[in-house]
Amino acid sequence: MGCLYAAGRCFGKIRGLARPRAQLLQGWRTAKIVPPAHAQTRFASEAAAAKCERLTVRKQKDGIRTIILNNPKKRNALSLTMLKSLRSDLLHEAESNDLRVIVISAEGPVFSSGHDLKELTSAKGWDHHAEVFAVCTEVMTLLQDIPVPVIAKVNGLATAAGCQLVASCDVAVVSDKSKFATPGVNVGVFCSTPAVAVGRSLPRKVTLEMLFTGEPISAHDALLHGLVSRVVPEDKLDEVTMKIAGKICETSRSVVALGKATFYKQMALNRNEAYQIAAQVMVDNLTLKDGQEGILSFIQKRKPVWTHSAEKADE
């Protein structure tokens, strides 16, 4: 199942990721299956219990969606169920102009300990293991493919796939008590998939030291080497994160979506190819209503009025 979320139809050509909307969203829609009559009571009670113990909590206000990893008793492990819940929260009404930025945080002292190792035993089987890593890959790529900025707000330990989650977000604001590690080697499972995201954020030798030893790095070392954006005192974490999110909300959604998609595309190219694509996108940006509105508002010394759409400016 494909789950790469294009920034919008108008940006699909630039990114090469355009897909029919129905196909993009089919993975998080649940089929309507009616259970046998004798099982309905049991299923109803299980559903009620699951609802009371949601693994992620989604809230949204003033354009800012907060997704909270909500399983502190299990160190917010990225179980298959947790990953699917996170994916659903990310994709929920992702096309709406009311959504401007996403903040991912966690309950408890551990942001996320990574995969649930109980799901990786031989008893679960190859098919289950393959599904875990396939869904994890979908979620990690979705963070960068979704058209709005995604901010990780970290206050604690992030290890293995939890560290991968932080590295995959567009921005990461962390408290000074946070730590980051890829310790899979210590339990016989090298952190190869976390290394994809971490290795694209940190210098190669720093990444390999983390992978080979499993030792954590501090929040300040993570900032020094580029894994996170800011390190702040714990009591300032909410304030600083919301300030960044609020600033993003003041900009044009369509312009940000175009810019985010282009950034990740050009980063995978050599310099000359990157400039070729980026220059064309700058021209495309100027054809948008919001592109022209921003320039005119600056010239006229007034606050811009954004449409947040991909509509073209009048000729």
3-class DSSP string for the chain: CCCCCCCCHHHHHHHCCCCCHHHHHHHHCCCCCCCCHHHHHHHHHHHHHHHHCCCEEEEEECCEEEEEECCHHHCCCCCHHHHHHHHHHHHCCCCCCCCCEEEEEECCCEEECCCCHHHHCCCCCHHHHHHHHHHHHHHHHHHHHCCCCEEEEECCEEECHHHHHHHHCCEEEEECCCEEECHHHHHCCCCHHHHHHHCCCCCHHHHHHHHHHCCCEEHHHHHHHCCCCEEECHHHHHHHHHHHHHHHHCCCHHHHHHHHHHHHHHHCCCHHHHHHHHHHHHHHHHCEHHHHHHHHHHHCCCCCCCCCCCCECCC
Given this model, what pLDDT does residue 314 score? 79
pLDDT at 315: 54
* Closest to 70 in 3D by CA, of 88, 49, 85: 85
CATH 3.90.226.10 in the chain is located at 56-249
Q: Could you say which architecture CATH assigns to the domain 252-300?
A: Orthogonal Bundle (1.10)
For the stretch 129-174, pLDDT in tens is: 999 999 999 999 999 999 999 999 999 999 999 999 999 999 999 9
Token reading at 33? 């299956």
At 199-252, the pLDDT tens digits run 999 999 999 999 999 999 999 999 999 999 999 999 999 999 999 999 999 999
- Hey, what are 286's tokens? 């100027």
Structure token pair of residue 297: 């508002």
Superfamily for domain range 56-249: 2-enoyl-CoA Hydratase; Chain A, domain 1 (3.90.226.10)
Per the DSSP assignment, residues forming a β-bridge with 56 are 69
Whether the per-residue pLDDT at 18 is higher than 90: the answer is no
pLDDT one-digit tens code per residue, 244-283: 999 999 999 999 999 999 999 999 999 999 999 999 999 9
Location of each CATH 1.10.12 domain in the chain: 252-300
Weakest-pLDDT range from 16-25, 156-165, 180-189: 16-25
Which pLDDT score, from 0 to 100, does residue 209 have? 98
pLDDT greater than 90 at residue 37: no
